[in-house]
Amino acid sequence: MTTEVFCNDKLAKEYIDNVFATLKAKNAHQLEFLQAVEEIFISLVPVFAQNPAYIQHNILSRIVEPDRIVSFRVAWQDDKNQVQVNRGFRVQYNNVIGPYKGGLRFHPTVNESIMKFLAFEQIFKNALTGQPIGGGKGGSDFNPKGKSDAEIMRFCQAFMTELYRYIGPDVDVPAGDIGVGAREVGYLWGQYKRIRGAYEAGVLTGKKPGYGGSLARKEATGYGLVYFVSEMLQEANQSFLNKTVVVSGSGNVAIYAIEKAQHFGAKVVACSDSAGYIYDPEGINLKVVKEIKELKGDRISTYLKYRPNAEYHEGCTGIWTIPCDIALPCATQNEINGESARKLISNGTKVVAEGANMPSDLEAINEFLAADILFGPGKAANAGGVAVSALEMAQNSGRNYWSFQEVDEKLHRIMKSIYAESKEAAEKYGYSGNLVVGSNIAGFIKVAEGMLAEGVY
């Protein structure tokens, strides 16, 4: 028995290493993409060892190759009548479980590697939600910062004038992400509706409530993250009550993570933007943060005008030197490296859970796991946003609206179930307590089984 398992493990590892080596050779310059794939592949050895059919059907080589990637020119006119050109993307990765689903990111760092890493992660995250949604992602290297409202509208219209050919309520359903909120989704939706000449509300999620949007979608990722962490804490007979929390970012995910953590009795002492972070030892005043970020679109440094006793520090990594019980990275990828992870651990942090996508690099994750930190990976912990997007699609299909409470309760149930499935998968495959391995395996198996059922195509 032992020898057999050993042989299977060896075979599985060889297979996975070979697929990764080929992938690396083909995509050598796509570092973020390779990082995301490697994190998942490491978790899958026991799964392939126990399911030789996955090797026979070469599931891994098939799953890492997107169904298709669309890249297109977006030409638009700025307020000075100058023509600007950006690059748009849509990665349709896998639609075994449902229509491709994943947000649009408008940020100057957007490139094919970032799009592919996000879309790849999205496949397994979406599978974990238990909702009928496949994996995709899109965006543009357009920088919305400093643009007028009219420029944002013209850009969104130009972007959709090309994107509309590839999406549809049963084909591919984009949503927001960094740089794309309800305003941008509104402009994108308006243009899609005009071009199609039909009211296909389910083609985009993250719309404002009142014209097809779901109540609680805005809050869903942040609230979902805190619901997930509550499950982790409960396992250790703990709760948010009186815990000190640090949250990076001050965008959509961060703001609603802070709101729910405060609601559960935690003291959130810091948050940030891409220029620096604020530390308010008395506890962040969320009303002020919302006014600065949601209403004025200003820098987080202006928090000091309202709360002179708080501190502002330039730069993003310093936030991880603040002592806290719980750290919630909610800004962007690779914001916690090995050094920051070691600082958090030495300062006594007990829980780290990812609101952003891939905010911890591989070295940081390994540090957390080695130190027995309760670690909630983004794929599971931030899945609440896309889960409620799927609920928005369901409401659009049924042409009805659910109350805030109804959606919030469903979100809460989904997050509990994601936690339970990830924990069980980790236990079943011999990695008890490791939610990275557990969530990767639980999401992967759902997609792999669907691929086996569909046959080779």
Residues 439, 440, 446: CA angle, nearest 5 degrees: 90
Structure letter (DSSP) for residue 78: -
Q: Strands 311-314 and 276-279: what pairing?
A: antiparallel
Which residue in this structure is represented by tokens 């965008």? Answer: 251
CB of 7 to ligand NDP, least distance (A): 40
Strand partners, 74: 86
The gap from C-alpha 154 to its chain's centroid, in whole angstroms, comes to 27
Q: Examine the residue annotation and report whether 243 is marked as an active-site residue of this protein.
A: no
Q: Is the Cβ of residue 94 or residue 272 nearer to ligand NDP in the bound state?
A: 272
For tokens 């569909």, the residue is 454
- The CB-of-332 to ligand NDP minimum distance in angstroms stands at 4
φ and ψ at residue 376, rounded to 5 degrees: -105, 105
Q: Which is nearer to ligand NDP, 46 or 249 (CB)?
A: 249
| Dist CA 97 CA 421 (whole Å) | 17
Say which DSSP state 93 is in.
E
DSSP 8-state code for residue 182? H
Rounded Cα gap, residues 51 and 150, in angstroms: 54
Cβ proximity to ligand NDP, 8 vs 92, nearer residue: 92
> Cβ of residue 150: shortest distance to ligand NDP, in angstroms?
20
* Nearest approach, Cβ of residue 268 and ligand NDP (Å): 14
Count the neighbouring beta carbons within 10 Å of the beta carbon of residue 314.
9
For 390, the 3-state DSSP assignment is helix
Question: Measured from the CB of residue 93, what is the shortest distance to ligand NDP in angstroms?
Answer: 15
What is the CA angle 440-446-448, rounded to 5?
A: 90
- The residue number whose beta carbon is nearest to ligand NDP equals 251
Asked if 140 contacts 400 with a C-beta cutoff of 8 angstroms, the reply is no
62 vs 313, beta carbon nearer ligand NDP = 313
Residue with Cβ nearer ligand NDP (12 or 407): 407
Residue 175 CB, nearest distance to ligand NDP (Å)? 7
89 strand-pairing partners: 71, 139
Pick 66 or 355: Cβ nearer ligand NDP: 355
Tell me the closest approach of the beta carbon of residue 5 to ligand NDP, in angstroms: 37
Secondary structure of residue 255 in the 3-state scheme: helix
> Which is nearer to ligand NDP, 34 or 254 (by Cβ)?
254
Task: Give the orientation angle of helix 31-43 with respect to helix 112-128, to 10 degrees.
Answer: 30
Contact positions vs ligand NDP (CB under 6 A): 176-179, 221, 248-254, 272-275, 316, 330-332, 335, 355-357, 382, 385
**CB atoms closer than 10 angstroms to residue 139:** 29
Q: Which of 125, 137, 260, 350 is catalytic?
A: 137
Active site residues: 137
